[in-house]
């Protein structure tokens, strides 16, 4: 009986509760917008911009401190993009893929590291922007647009020839690919981040303190990997569009 | 969970704006710095290669000079040795000559003194033999 009493005592202080699909809605004209997603994305954007400004405010030939760190980040991104797209054309795509990586990475980690629950919102809760399907679909569609743009810019209308090459038999699959790419990109990211947050929330609900910690650490790892996967795949798709099949 | 609304396009626009902004404040300046550093290192590399080649040529030059100096010193040593030999030879010859002449002079003097000594001896022999005779014989007998 005492144990049960302790349990009910714990339940009176809600350490965690599950909220899925509740949003802090803003109305703009006839449209509704998920406010918590934007609030958090602004925090992420602010972080990125402040870090960039701090790094580039006083550029030195021999870097130190924040400049050193951001150069390390940039070199990581540059190597990632160069590995995917190749030496010749990677430079144009560093900003896009790099921003994808940074935005997703910082978003994921902000969701995993910061106890947003402590900040009260009228409804819904602050969380990683990437655990909202709107964000991931937006990023995935931008990636699709990016690789179409890359292909069309380089090859003109003959870009569309790759649908019927090497054989027109594969045309349906080639068309299907243009839909599966953004679909898989967005759902992979959305699913991973949402699932991670749900697992942590459920574990905290069941056994508060300490037990969820390994899962949280795993969540940090998954978050980083998902950011890397998204950026790498975006690079791979763009490279595929830029690739010359014949010449 | 899958409620799409205006968040999607707004997020896309916001992301593009972020890309443009980061391109201006992050990628462009830092890429420039990285490229410049790479250029600097590459030029430093060739510069150091030049310097190395120069240093090697200088070392070669110095080695040549050292070899020359060594040869020269060898020459001068040989010359000095030859000169010294010559000088000693002439000195020895001169000394020998002098010794010879001095010996000759000495023998001559000895000869002379011997002769004078014999002469005085003969005189003394004469007077002594007279005295002996006088002692032994009657002085009258002698006259």
pLDDT at B142: 63
A57 to chain B, any CB pair closer than 8 A? The answer is: no
CB contacts, 8 Å: A49 with chain B: 21-22, 25
pLDDT at A1: 44
pTM, entire model: 0.70
Span A181-192, pLDDT tens digits: 999 999 999 999
Matching residue, tokens 């998954």: A222
CB contact under 8 A, B10 and A141: no
pLDDT at B43: 84
CB contact under 8 A, A133 and B31: no
Residue A247 lies in a domain: no
Matching residue, tokens 């699932």: A195
Bridge partner residues of A25 (DSSP)? A34
Tell me the two tokens of residue A198. Answer: 């749900």
Q: Contact A103/A228 with Cβ under 8 angstroms?
A: no
Q: Contact A191/A183 with Cβ under 8 angstroms?
A: no
CB contacts, 8 Å: A98 with chain B: 22, 27
| Low-confidence stretches of chain A (pLDDT beneath 70) | 1-21, 245-247
A–B CB contacts, 8 A cutoff, strictly below: 112
Q: Is the complex ipTM higher than 0.85?
A: no
Half-sphere exposure at residue B114, Cβ-oriented, CA atoms within 13 angstroms = 6
Q: Which domain holds residue A235?
A: 2-242
pLDDT at A12: 45
Residue A236 lies in a domain: yes
Residue A205 lies in a domain: yes
Tell me the two tokens of residue A153. Answer: 């810019």
Chain A, 109-138: which have a CB under 8 Å from a chain B CB?
Answer: 129, 132-135, 137-138
Closest to A34 measured CA to CA, from A105, A106, A107, A126 = A126
Closest to B18 measured CA to CA, from A36, A101, A140 = A101
d(CA B101, CA B106): 8
Tell me the two tokens of residue B125. Answer: 């022999």
pLDDT at A185: 92
Span B30-62, pLDDT tens digits: 888 888 888 888 887 778 888 899 999 999 999
Q: Contact A36/A23 with Cβ under 8 angstroms?
A: yes
d(CA B108, CA B110): 5
Burial classification of residue A61, based on how many CB atoms lie within 10 Å of its CB (0-12 exposed, 13-18 middle, 19 or more buried):
exposed
Tell me: cis bond preceding A166? Omega within 30 of 0 counts.
Answer: yes
Span B65-106, pLDDT tens digits: 999 999 999 999 999 999 999 999 999 999 999 999 999 999
- Give one word for A86, left, alpha or beta, with left for phi > 0 and alpha for psi -120 to 50: left
Residue A138 lies in a domain: yes
How close does chain A come to B11, measured CA to CA in Å?
Answer: 6
pLDDT at B90: 95
pLDDT at A18: 56
The structural domain count of chain A equals 1
Q: What is the DSSP annotation of B36-79?
A: HHHHHHHHHHHHHHHHHHHHHHHHHHHHHHHHHHHHHHHHHHHH
């Amino acid at each position: 009986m005492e144990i049960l009493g302790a349990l009910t005592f714990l339940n009176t202080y809600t350490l965690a509760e599950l909220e899925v699909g509740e949003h802090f809605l803003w109305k703009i004209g006839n449209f509704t917008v998920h406010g918590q997603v934007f609030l958090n994305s602004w925090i992420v954007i602010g972080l990125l911009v402040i870090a960039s400004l701090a790094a580039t405010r006083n550029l030195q030939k021999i870097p130190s401190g924040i400049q050193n760190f951001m150069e390390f980040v940039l070199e990581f991104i540059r190597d990632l993009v160069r590995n995917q797209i190749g030496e010749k054309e990677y430079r144009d795509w560093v900003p896009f893929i790099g921003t994808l990586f940074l935005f997703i990475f910082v978003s994921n980690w902000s969701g995993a590291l910061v106890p947003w629950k402590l900040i009260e919102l009228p409804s819904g809760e602050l969380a990683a922007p990437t655990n909202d399907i709107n964000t991931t679909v937006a990023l995935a569609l931008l990636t699709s647009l990016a690789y179409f743009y890359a292909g069309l810019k380089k090859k003109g209308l003959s870009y569309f020839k790759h649908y019927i090459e090497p054989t027109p038999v594969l045309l349906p699959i080639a068309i299907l690919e243009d839909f599966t790419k953004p679909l898989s990109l967005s759902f992979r990211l959305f699913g991973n981040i949402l699932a991670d947050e749900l697992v942590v929330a459920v574990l905290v609900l069941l056994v508060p303190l300490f037990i969820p910690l390994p899962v949280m650490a795993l969540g940090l790892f998954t978050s980083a990997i998902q950011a890397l996967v998204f950026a790498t795949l975006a690079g791979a798709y763009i490279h595929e569009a830029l690739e010359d099949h014949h010449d | 969970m899958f409620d799409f609304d205006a968040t999607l396009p707004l997020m896309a626009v916001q992301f593009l704006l972020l890309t443009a902004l980061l391109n201006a404040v992050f990628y462009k300046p830092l890429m420039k710095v990285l490229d410049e550093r790479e250029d600097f290192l590459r030029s430093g590399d060739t510069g150091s290669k030049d310097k190395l080649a120069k240093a090697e040529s200088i070392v070669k030059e110095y080695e040549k000079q050292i070899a020359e100096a060594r040869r020269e010193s060898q020459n001068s040593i040989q010359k000095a040795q030859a000169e010294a030999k010559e000088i000693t030879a002439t000195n020895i010859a001169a000394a020998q000559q002098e010794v010879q002449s001095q010996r000759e002079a000495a023998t001559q003097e000895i000869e002379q003194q011997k002769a004078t000594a014999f002469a005085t001896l003969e005189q003394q022999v004469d007077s002594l033999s007279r005295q002996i005779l006088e002692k032994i014989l009657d002085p009258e007998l002698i006259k």
